[in-house]
Structure 1
Amino acid sequence: MLRRPPLIPWRSWLGALGLWAAFPGSARATETDQYFAIDKPPRDSLEVLNEKVNRDILGAVALVNRRASWDQYSCQDVAHRVYQRFRISGLHKIELWAENSPRIDRVPTQKDHRRFAAQSSIYRNSRLWDWGLSFGVKATFTVAGVHMGADKLSHFFQTGWKYHQRFRELMKQGVPEHEALERIVRYGVETESGTLGSVTTGVFSFGDLEANYQGFLFYRSLCRDEDPRLLKTPQGWRLTRPFDWRDYVSPQFDETLNNSAFVPLRWEEVRANLRRDYCPRLDSETFLEHYRSYARYPRKPDDFNTRYVQELLARGEVPRQQDFSIWAACGRSPPDLAQLAAETSGSSGAGPENATTEPSTPAPRYEAPRFDEAILRPLFELGGGGFRNDGSAWNALLRTRFLLRETVGPEDTWDAVRTPEYLLWASLDGHLALGSTPAGVTVPYADLRFTPVERRFELNNVATGEELAVGVVLLPLRLTRFLALDRSLGVDTSVAGVRVRLGKRFGERQRAGVFGAVALDSPGYKAALHPSDGYAFQGVHAATLALETGAELQLGTQLRLGLVLGGSASIGLGWDPGGSGFSAPADLEAHAEAQVDVTRFSRLFVRGQLEAVLEPGRSRLLSTPVLLGGVTFRY
């Protein structure tokens, strides 16, 4: 029986997006609690995660091969495309997917996660707000018999890539290989001591260090001189052998065995929870079998990270791991793993001891994800209707919108959770009023916005209708002409911007839906020409914040009703020669629009809009209402 996919965690998304916008391009620190899963192990997700990773690698390779210039790509260029399949614009796509895919069995379940965080997690505490765990405590799943959290996926694919890039730079500089390996592990130690660990969450994770290093080995395998995974052939780039988590995963990913270290306040809380929940259970057969199975787990062929971290421990350059173990919390001596490995297990249940660490059958053949037919997909909207503002008569309205986007990721329908994304999203949209005012001016109103490049990420749950879209805009431009506001021309140009959209459809057939969107443009250039006195304001466009929300109802195959509410606020800093010198003008706008779709290609709309300009240097507030109505045609 198919299980209903879990709901996407809105609070986690909103928190993640807030921090993502504040610190673009950086990784995020999250924590997991594997102790909770010891007596309730999740179903092994090895095959599902193997298929997911291989499909993403094949998708990246296929996208390279679709380009006319594919033969000009180096192996490292293709490897970078592979990396982008797992992370883009500061978001860990593979982690988001694993947290929401119905094919991944997780402990606790989405339904029980809030109760787990409040009552069962080793990180629970009585603080009013624990800012270090703003992303919450992630659930645990099983891969090749090893319990791990979704955060290990982001460390594997993101920090592992940083290891890889640093290693290549060190080798180019002539650093010996062994020293280069030591230096990238030291870099990982710095991240755990800093923004990815102790400074933010109060946790120094030795498991994260292992995931970092194993991710580095994966990226290194793509293009290494001997037996590379990526091979250039006359027909294009191809993957010579599939990815298999069993080549990289080990019990060192599990923080019940490879335990973390903590800052004093965090350790005080974690130690109290360990003593209360787990010390009485240490001698139970469930716990003994858990550690016994890990003791018998074969070591990795390359355990350099484990050995070097032990050297750093002996030199006192990393926290004393043994001081923060469950055995230290319970005042017990840790078990002898060699002795445990020699014991005969009495358990026959599914657990880490039953994991196959070496493939027993030939590697399966994985298919690349489905792609849209066209890489470049244009969309054009054109409409007309009525227009009126203060001091003008009715005019013909031209409403236009043009989009051109280039696909760099497939519309993957392999699972209910999809992760399409776009590299290019160019758009031109706005309004032009054609006609004349009583004064005979031919263009009484204009508002055009040009968004030349947007790098977008999307996550969609097609079973529940939930969606997340995030974009980074480069050099957005707005041109305005407001005669009623005593501005014959206005120009705003920003350096960059962020666009975020959250949406959800309701109902069994998902006929109703709501969405919320936010856009933030960062500093740029701002100018406005005042025809009344001939002076022009020039200065810095400090920021523009735009908010929009809406709802829609699908009544039939084509008939759709929609309502959109929104507004924006923009502030500038600069010099106004016609005013009092320095000024900080603000542009404000609010709108409401009702929409009706009667066919796939046409939309009726009525839009009410209020434009306002606050000019402190001139001690005035100018405003004008705008009414738009008509029909747009989409092609």
Structure 2
Amino acid sequence: MIRPSAQRKWRGIALWATVMTGTAQATETDQYFAIDKRPLDSLGALNEKVNRDILGALELVNRRTNWDSYSCQDVAHRVYQRFRISGLHKIELWAENSPRIDRVPSKKDHSHFEKHSSIYRSGRLWDWGLSFGVKATFNVAGVHMGADKLSHFFKTGWKYHQRYLALTKAGVPEREALEQLVRYGAETESSSLGLATTEVFSFGDLEANYQGFLFYRSLCQDENPRLLKTSEGWRLTRPFDWREHVSPEFDETWNNSAFTPKRWSEVRANLRRDYCERLDSDTFVEHYRFYSRYERSADDFNLRYVRELVDRGEFPRQEDFSIWTACGRSRPDFHAGAAEALAGGTSGSAGPGPENSTGGLPAPAPQYEAPRFDGSLFQPQLEAGGGGFQSAGSDWNALLRMRFVLHETVVPEDAWDAVRTPEYLLWASLDGHLALGRGPAELTLPYADLRFTPVQQRFELNNVATGDELAVGVVLLPARLTRFTTLDRSFGVEASLAGVRGRLGKRFGERQRAGVFASLALDAVGYKAALHLSDGHAFQGVHAATLAVETGAELLLGEQLRLGLVLCGGAGLSLGWDPGGGGFTAPSDLGAYAEAQVDVTRFSRLFVRGQLDALHEPGRDRTLSTPTVLGGAAFRF
């Protein structure tokens, strides 16, 4: 049985499927659980995070020699990329992992919450719609919201913005363009981001979408745009503040969702069981009263138009799915209660606190420091190693590795936060193994296995506090060139059109003298073809997946001296057609190695490696393998 903590980690590696299929990641939250838990306000941390990412995007643009040719919309797109890359919502992952964000429930209690306390708990054997789990709740300016609202704000808000630009450019009046945006958001809630997946239609998501659109529009199109081109580069004229956008409409206890009949039957039963008796408690009453007097955004078009569509019967009747309906009661007029409380001189101190509303904007606005990026925009790296051990019918073996990074951005957020999000917008590698000499006279390469992997938009998330590591990349045109004599292959070429690589790992003891690490990598999926000239037939099919497990340990003996041991094993499976082997076949590649390392300097490494590569062909009922021993040095430039 997989432990609950392991289940949460598996959800991280499952994100590769989101990227591979291009589908959206649909998640839900349960704010009812947080009403009497009151997470600490994370406004400051989230404001700082967003402003650092905006300033980081401007810094990357200004470092380019052609920064002056960028339009404001070009720069806005770079801002958007700081929050999302390769289908991953970076800021959502950050908020779920950062120790600066107080979440309810906590990570250690999350599994128990999902199983025993969430309004979405059910007796289903597997709830496909909630495969990504139920998100925790945090507090922003007194408003309870889930991390999913961040992805709606920055991702779907950007889609709203792009549609708005296209519509207005085509001459569509502004009112009609805004209506089309809200209808588009409703379509996503009725399909991939809602009823068709999680069985939930979230009105809170619609508000987060619209507020994200207002943010992106403020970058370039407002009378006082946030982005300004100066003689020294692009600048942020005023910082981002969540209080300009957040409101109780983000909280699904106030702006409740609608559900499919099956999901509503489950949610209604849980609401009745857990909350009906608590509706009249001081905590619940003050929670709703505080929201009733919360200052709203000046632009409330989304709220007004959504209510209009509900009244027309085009959207679900929201009140049919409220906690009051579930408990057989009418919703109280909290606005009247709030007015009476204010007239009586009460400040609402029992609730989240009016000081968290938009009325408390600081003057002057706080200043944020732009992050300084590690590495350069153009960073080639090379590792080359060789050995003098005779094996596999050869005199010499060579191990080649090259890493070629065209655009790397690494924000050293460990100085500000334990969670780091480095990204590689274009990353490539050439690695492989050559065995030289002592072959048949007509062959110059008795053994060769070279792999070229271009990776576009690779993303990583590293948590220094816990050691967790997550990496996902979109792989385009990975290729493999083989010339095997030991494996009974004179020549072979394999190529996949596209694929996805995901790695989930943990590193213990980072920044300590001794450390242990482990990772699980998944590489899939793409079209694959192999031509074997030795027997004149071709294999065509699909590279289904390659799974690799790596573990190791390291010991730092000085500022430069490091000892390391790495163990790695992997297996790949293909499905396709082999005319020479009798039709359908599922060949598999197997590999394993053990490597001892000594780093003398930061640029050089001595190593000894024992390696085994094998190919299994079930159609021909044979397994071909070659062992190799390598020893030598690797250099990084």
Task: Classify the TM-score, shorter chain.
Answer: over 0.9
Q: Is the 8 A contact 2:524 2:543 kept in 1?
A: no
Match of 1:559 in 2: 562
Among 125, 128, 133, the alignment partner of 1:128 is 125
- When residues 89 and 609 of structure 1 are mapped into structure 2, their CA distance, relative to the original with a 3 A threshold, is same
Q: Distance in 2 between matches of 1:409 and 1:239?
A: 21
Match of 1:366 in 2: 368
Structure 2 counterparts to residues 282-361 of structure 1, below 5 A: 282-344=279-341, 345=346, 347-349=348-350, 351-358=352-359, 359-361=361-363
Structure 2 counterparts to residues 473-552 of structure 1, below 5 A: 473-507=475-509, 509=512, 511-530=515-534, 535-537=536-538, 539-540=540-541, 542-552=543-553
Q: Secondary structure at the match of 1:523?
A: strand
Match of 1:241 in 2: 238
Once the two structures are TM-superposed, the CA of residue 597 in structure 1 deviates from its matched residue by 2.0
- Counterpart of 1:353 in structure 2: which amino acid? P
Q: Is the 8 A contact 2:258 2:318 kept in 1?
A: yes
Moved more, 332-341 or 583-592: 583-592
- When residues 469 and 630 of structure 1 are mapped into structure 2, their CA distance, relative to the original with a 3 A threshold, is same
Among 426, 429, 436, the alignment partner of 2:428 is 426
Q: Secondary structure at the match of 1:630?
A: strand
Structure 2 counterparts to residues 254-293 of structure 1, below 5 A: 254-293=251-290
Point out where structure 1 has 5 or more consecutive residues left out of the alignment: 1-7
Point out where structure 2 has 5 or more consecutive residues left out of the alignment: none
Once the two structures are TM-superposed, the CA of residue 286 in structure 1 deviates from its matched residue by 1.1
Q: Alpha-carbon deviations, 1:275-304, whole Å to 9, x = none? A: 121111111111111111111111210000
Q: Distance in 2 between matches of 1:452 and 1:149?
A: 36
Moved more, 198-207 or 623-632: 623-632
Once the two structures are TM-superposed, the CA of residue 152 in structure 1 deviates from its matched residue by 0.5
Once the two structures are TM-superposed, the CA of residue 200 in structure 1 deviates from its matched residue by 1.1
Q: Distance in 2 between matches of 1:265 and 1:587?
A: 43
Once the two structures are TM-superposed, the CA of residue 335 in structure 1 deviates from its matched residue by 1.0
Once the two structures are TM-superposed, the CA of residue 321 in structure 1 deviates from its matched residue by 0.5
Once the two structures are TM-superposed, the CA of residue 554 in structure 1 deviates from its matched residue by 2.2
- When residues 225 and 146 of structure 1 are mapped into structure 2, their CA distance, relative to the original with a 3 A threshold, is closer
- When residues 529 and 58 of structure 1 are mapped into structure 2, their CA distance, relative to the original with a 3 A threshold, is same
Once the two structures are TM-superposed, the CA of residue 598 in structure 1 deviates from its matched residue by 4.2
Instruction: State percent identity of aligned pairs.
Output: 59
Q: Distance in 2 between matches of 1:19 and 1:453?
A: 17
The alignment status of 1:21 with 2:17, answered yes or no, reads yes
User: Normalised by the size of structure 2, how large is the TM-score?
Assistant: 0.92
Q: Alpha-carbon deviations, 1:392-450, whole Å to 9, x = none? A: 2x411121111121213523332001111110111111111121236574320011111
Q: Distance in 2 between matches of 1:24 and 1:410?
A: 29
Structure 2 counterparts to residues 161-240 of structure 1, below 5 A: 161-224=158-221, 226-240=223-237
- When residues 615 and 136 of structure 1 are mapped into structure 2, their CA distance, relative to the original with a 3 A threshold, is closer
Q: Secondary structure at the match of 2:255?
A: coil
Match of 1:115 in 2: 112
Q: Is the 8 A contact 1:518 1:548 kept in 2?
A: no
The alignment status of 1:603 with 2:579, answered yes or no, reads no
Q: Is the 8 A contact 1:493 1:524 kept in 2?
A: yes
- When residues 521 and 327 of structure 1 are mapped into structure 2, their CA distance, relative to the original with a 3 A threshold, is closer
- Counterpart of 1:471 in structure 2: which amino acid? G
Moved more, 595-604 or 277-286: 595-604
- Counterpart of 1:404 in structure 2: which amino acid? F
Q: Secondary structure at the match of 1:14?
A: helix
Q: Secondary structure at the match of 1:112?
A: helix
Q: Is the 8 A contact 2:500 2:524 kept in 1?
A: yes
The alignment status of 1:402 with 2:402, answered yes or no, reads yes
- Count residues in correspondence: 620
Q: Distance in 2 between matches of 1:118 and 1:575?
A: 48
Q: Distance in 2 between matches of 1:240 and 1:632?
A: 51
Moved more, 450-459 or 596-605: 596-605
- Counterpart of 1:567 in structure 2: which amino acid? G
Q: Alpha-carbon deviations, 1:582-616, whole Å to 9, x = none? A: 56462522212232224232131222213225273
Match of 2:44 in 1: 47
- When residues 545 and 222 of structure 1 are mapped into structure 2, their CA distance, relative to the original with a 3 A threshold, is same
Match of 2:76 in 1: 79
Q: Is the 8 A contact 1:512 1:554 kept in 2?
A: no
Structure 2 counterparts to residues 128-167 of structure 1, below 5 A: 128-167=125-164
Q: Is the 8 A contact 1:526 1:541 kept in 2?
A: no
Match of 1:568 in 2: 571
Match of 1:442 in 2: 444
- When residues 412 and 496 of structure 1 are mapped into structure 2, their CA distance, relative to the original with a 3 A threshold, is same
Q: Secondary structure at the match of 1:62?
A: helix
Q: Is the 8 A contact 1:399 1:632 kept in 2?
A: no
Q: Secondary structure at the match of 2:483?
A: strand
Q: Distance in 1 between matches of 2:106 and 2:326?
A: 27
Q: Secondary structure at the match of 2:413?
A: coil
Q: Is the 8 A contact 2:389 2:631 kept in 1?
A: no
Q: Secondary structure at the match of 1:322?
A: helix
Once the two structures are TM-superposed, the CA of residue 89 in structure 1 deviates from its matched residue by 0.6
Q: Alpha-carbon deviations, 1:342-397, whole Å to 9, x = none? A: 1224742461433141313211111111211422222221111146566x2x4111
Once the two structures are TM-superposed, the CA of residue 318 in structure 1 deviates from its matched residue by 1.0
Q: Is the 8 A contact 1:424 1:455 kept in 2?
A: yes
Q: Distance in 2 between matches of 1:279 and 1:538?
A: 64
Q: Secondary structure at the match of 2:108?
A: coil
Once the two structures are TM-superposed, the CA of residue 13 in structure 1 deviates from its matched residue by 4.4
Moved more, 272-281 or 319-328: 272-281
Once the two structures are TM-superposed, the CA of residue 138 in structure 1 deviates from its matched residue by 1.0
Once the two structures are TM-superposed, the CA of residue 213 in structure 1 deviates from its matched residue by 0.5
Match of 1:459 in 2: 461
- When residues 157 and 351 of structure 1 are mapped into structure 2, their CA distance, relative to the original with a 3 A threshold, is same
Q: Is the 8 A contact 2:529 2:538 kept in 1?
A: no
Once the two structures are TM-superposed, the CA of residue 528 in structure 1 deviates from its matched residue by 1.9
Q: Distance in 1 between matches of 2:592 and 2:37?
A: 52
Q: Is the 8 A contact 2:486 2:626 kept in 1?
A: no
